[in-house]
Amino acid sequence: MNAQAATLQPDPAAPMVEMRNVNKWYGTFQALKNVSLTVSKGERMVICGPSGSGKSTAIRCINWLEHHQEGQILIEGVELTPGLKNIDLIRREVGMVFQQFNLFPHLTVLQNLTLAPRKVRGISRGEAEETAMRYLKRVRIAEQAHKYPSQLSGGQQQRVAIARSLCMEPKVMLFDEPTSALDPEMIKEVLDVMIELAEEHMTMICVTHEMGFARTVADTVVFMDHGEVVEVAPPRTFFSDPRNERTKIFLGQILGH
Amino acid sequence: MINVPLWDILQFLLLAARWTLLLSAIAFVGGGIGALVLLLLRYGQPRYGVRLVHLYVELLQGTPLLLQLFLVFFGLPLLGVDVSPILAAGVALTLYASAFLAEIWRGCVDAVPRGQWDASASLGMNFLLQMRYIILPQSFRIAIPPTVGFLVQLLKSTALASIVGFAELTKAGQIVTNATFQPFLVYGLVALIYFAMCFPLTFCARLLERKLMRAR
């Protein structure tokens, strides 16, 4: 179980993530309909839409947690295909933060952060711990390093989860409704960490209902509904001048109160 | 009626109990390894492993252990393999234990939330790393009570090996009874010795379970 020395041959000129006409069905239900999205390096994209619109499915397809049936998904020019043996090689470059945090409950915070760098990237324990402490400081939680996840609040757990992904030094970060499971007073501490990350030009794809976050840091806002990409626009035009009728209705509902 | 001192009876039975313990240990270790392999097949790629494992488990759970014992004991010689009673009993009990443990542990693995697979996968961990560091450690705690429960059952099931002529505790009880004509006394002692072997198992399991609970 040593670290694999294998490498991918990404194309540096290719966009970070590209989805081309992606279709996905669960049985007869079509979850994604012809979804095409391009995320260039350093771009910060926010995907919003009503629940069941396929936004989580779309983001989970990007690191192959869900498999699409038609179309193409490319990470730095490397296509995700059913025969792909080196999916783990792609995944280590793609960080993901989940709604339910998904920390490893049997490991301490520090172990949560160092496990994958040590076992997947083959980094020494000392070096991995050093990196982990650096990221824990960045998410302002270094003093909790030796606690277990269950001893932390939701907001703290989510910041640990973000740090855990960052420890793999990913090229792109996926956020799947990172604040939806949090109490209101904890949302800000997580958003602050995400805003900092965005300001450092980390490539980010973020499924969220936090429209304030979208307005502040997104380069692109995507609206999805019924498995389709309905509208793609920079935040300024997206919020002030949405083209599509469904976007208008959604924004009316979400910003109305 | 021959008058045999109680101490001599007990000594004979205790010596035979060693074989019961040995046979249980063989079956448990062999079955544990077998179950782990079945488990990895069950969850790994390719997917036809699932059906294969399912068939194996169904077959062994759906037939009496006694018949499995007969099939190994009388079947292997047909294939030209000469089997001693201990080998036959060891093989049959190992196959039986691996099927049951695989099924028990499958339930424990399934009890680990889906998000743990997602999170470890998204960190680039392959199947074996996920199992080794994330899934199995979390299954372990839930697995202790049913596993020990099965181990106790397995230890008692070794009594069936007496039928193919393996001189373990129950067989020894029969032999002594035939000599002393005191079935109640002898089988009573046999039962007590089985209990003395099983009780520490359940007791240790409770301690371990409590300790792991605290560690959370």
pLDDT 10s digits, A158-176: 999 999 999 999 999 999 9
The whole-chain average pLDDT of chain B stands at 90
Q: Other CB atoms closer than 10 Å to residue B5's CB: what's the count?
A: 8
- Nearest Cα to B166, choosing from B64, B12, B8, B16? B16
Kindly report, residue by residue over A229-246, the tens digit of the pLDDT. 999 999 999 999 999 999
- CA-CA distance, A231 to A221, in Å (whole number)? 8
Task: Give the per-residue pLDDT at A238.
Answer: 94
Chain B residues within an 8 Å CB radius of A112: none
Token pair for A4 = 């694999």
Chain B residues within an 8 Å CB radius of A3: none
DSSP A21: E
What is the sign of the dihedral through the CA atoms of B163, B169, B174 and B179? positive
By CA distance, what is A113's nearest residue in B?
B123
Find all residues with CB under 8 Å of B171, minimum gap 6, and list them: B16, B161, B162, B165
By CA distance, what is A151's nearest residue in B?
B216
Chain A residues within an 8 Å CB radius of B137: 106
Chain B residues within an 8 Å CB radius of A111: none
Is the confidence at residue A250, as pLDDT, over 80? yes
Per the CB < 8 Å rule, is A119 touching B121?
A: no
Q: Give the minimum alpha-carbon distance from B38 to chain A in angstroms, rounded to a whole number.
A: 20
- CA-CA distance, A115 to B134, in Å (whole number)? 10
Per-window interface: A 122-141 vs B, CB < 8 A: none
Chain mean position to CA A100 = 13
Please list the residues that pair with A231 across neighbouring strands: A223
Task: Give the per-residue pLDDT at A212.
Answer: 92
By CA distance, what is A100's nearest residue in B?
B115
Q: Which residue has the higher pLDDT, B3 or A194?
A: A194
pTM of the model: 0.86
Per the CB < 8 Å rule, is B121 touching A65?
A: yes
The whole-chain average pLDDT of chain A stands at 92
Size of interface A-B (CB pairs under 8 A): 67
Q: How many angstroms separate the Cα of A211 from the Cα of each of A143, A216, A238?
A: 31, 9, 11
Q: Give the minimum alpha-carbon distance from B134 to chain A in angstroms, rounded to a whole number.
A: 7
Kindly report, residue by residue over B78-134, the tens digit of the pLDDT. 888 888 888 899 999 999 999 999 999 999 999 999 999 999 999 999 999 999 999
- CA-CA distance, A227 to B97, in Å (whole number)? 48
Per the CB < 8 Å rule, is A105 touching B120?
A: no
Q: How confident is the model at residue A3 (pLDDT cuts 50, 70, 90)?
A: very low
Phi-psi region of B44 (alpha: psi -120 to 50; beta: other; left: phi over 0): beta
* Largest distance between two CA atoms of chain B: 75
Per-window interface: A 55-84 vs B, CB < 8 A: 63, 65
Q: Which residue has the tokens 């339910």?
A: A100
Contact A50, A250 (CB under 8 A): yes
Q: Which long-range contacts (CB under 8 A, 24 or more apart) does B9-15 make?
A: B9/B176, B9/B180, B9/B185, B9/B186, B9/B189, B10/B189, B12/B172, B12/B175, B12/B176, B13/B169, B13/B172, B13/B173, B13/B176, B13/B186, B13/B189, B13/B190, B13/B193, B14/B193, B15/B172
Is the confidence at residue A9, as pLDDT, over 70? yes
Is the confidence at residue B3, as pLDDT, over 80? no
Kindly report, residue by residue over B153-167, the tens digit of the pLDDT. 999 999 999 988 888
Strands A220-225 and A44-48: parallel
Q: How confident is the model at residue B206 (pLDDT cuts 50, 70, 90)?
A: confident
Chain B residues within an 8 Å CB radius of A89: 124
Q: Is the ipTM of this complex over 0.90?
A: yes
Classify B13 as helix, strand or coil: helix
Per the CB < 8 Å rule, is B120 touching A116?
A: yes
Task: Give the per-residue pLDDT at A5.
Answer: 43
What average pLDDT does the segment B163-184 reach?
90
Chain A residues within an 8 Å CB radius of B214: none
By CA distance, what is B137's nearest residue in A?
A106
